[in-house]
Amino acid sequence: MALFGGHFSASSREQRAVVRALAELSDAQTPVHLETESEQGSIGFYTQVSLHKTVIVVAKPRAVPGGLPRGSHIRLTLPNRRRRQVRLAVLVPHVKLPFSQRYACVCALPEEFSGQCRRGADRLNTKRYGNLRLAVSEQDRLFRVLDLSATGLRIFTGADSGLMMFEEGMEIGAAKLKVGKRVEIELEQLLPRSRGANWVGLEMKVVNDGASDRLLLNLLNKLREAELSRLSIDAV
């Protein structure tokens, strides 16, 4: 038995560390960034978790319709553990929480951490903003932005996701991130990194002119504040 003791104790230590991290977030009701795993294109949003003895309840904002498929997985980025992640299996896709107007999904408790979040900043869902567009000079076209982070974005392409310029690793020419009619954020480089039936994920590099960096930071801060504000409203 001694031969296997170290293996099981190490596993048990990691599981306890995961539960401690989730318990801290649950007790403080700290906002946590969630991303779904889906071949149709993942979505991300801020949520709050509630830790129970054998499961974890994950709140679902009103802005996210329907439930998460049973048996699918979600990832939480833990702000109290230097952006380490846990991967949760969805057990119950859609439940109404008692004595409130909130909805949630019920997930299995993870037994281990699942690596580090590769993004330095959270990816923010922008589907609700019809005035946020990517303008690609080469195509003289505007694409709706589905989500955005400090280093990348995902755009809706419709049937045009197969265009040659969206081949992975192919650099796209000059582009602008347009916010309404007045604000333009100059992008020096766009590189396709992932592609679905009607969307493309792109790595981006902002022009180093001072103004574009500042405008992007302000935009991300406003998006984050708006999402956290909606989360607070949902918590009422």
Q: Which residues have a Cβ under 8 Å from the Cβ of 57 and sit 6 or more positions away? A: 49, 50, 95, 97, 104, 105, 106, 107
Domain extent for 44: 2-118
pLDDT band at 19 (very low <50, low <70, confident <90, very high): very high
Judgement on whether residues 15 and 83 belong to the same structural domain of the protein:
yes
Judgement on whether residues 34 and 114 belong to the same structural domain of the protein:
yes
Percent of residues, the chain, with pLDDT higher than 90: 47
Give the CATH number for residue 43.
2.30.110.10
Question: Does residue 142 register a pLDDT over 60?
Answer: yes
Judgement on whether residues 96 and 67 belong to the same structural domain of the protein:
yes
What is the mean predicted confidence (pLDDT) over 171-195?
91
Q: What's the pLDDT at 114? A: 92
Place of tokens 């439930």: 67
pLDDT band at 72 (very low <50, low <70, confident <90, very high): confident
Question: Does residue 21 register a pLDDT over 70?
Answer: yes
Question: Does residue 133 register a pLDDT over 60?
Answer: yes
Contact at 8 Å (CB) between 126 and 132?
A: yes
> Given 118, 141, 160, which residue is the final one in a domain?
118
Higher pLDDT: 231 or 130? It is: 130
Higher pLDDT: 66 or 79? It is: 79
173/66 Cα distance (integer angstroms): 38
Q: What's the pLDDT at 63? A: 59
> Given 93, 118, 143, which residue is the final one in a domain?
118
Judgement on whether residues 164 and 93 belong to the same structural domain of the protein:
no
Q: What's the pLDDT at 141? A: 85
Give the CATH number for residue 199.
2.40.10.430
Nearest to 183 by CA among 154, 217, 155: 217
Tokens of 97: 């929480």
Higher pLDDT: 211 or 43? It is: 211
7/14 Cα distance (integer angstroms): 11
Judgement on whether residues 136 and 70 belong to the same structural domain of the protein:
no
Judgement on whether residues 114 and 157 belong to the same structural domain of the protein:
no
Question: Does residue 40 register a pLDDT over 70?
Answer: no
Judgement on whether residues 191 and 213 belong to the same structural domain of the protein:
yes
Judgement on whether residues 33 and 93 belong to the same structural domain of the protein:
yes
Judgement on whether residues 102 and 174 belong to the same structural domain of the protein:
no
> Given 61, 94, 118, which residue is the final one in a domain?
118
Domains in the chain, number: 2
Judgement on whether residues 139 and 207 belong to the same structural domain of the protein:
yes
Judgement on whether residues 107 and 161 belong to the same structural domain of the protein:
no
Tell me how far apart the terminal alpha carbons of the chain are, to the nearest angstrom.
Answer: 52
pTM for the model: 0.75
What is the mean predicted confidence (pLDDT) over 84-95?
92
Judgement on whether residues 99 and 36 belong to the same structural domain of the protein:
yes
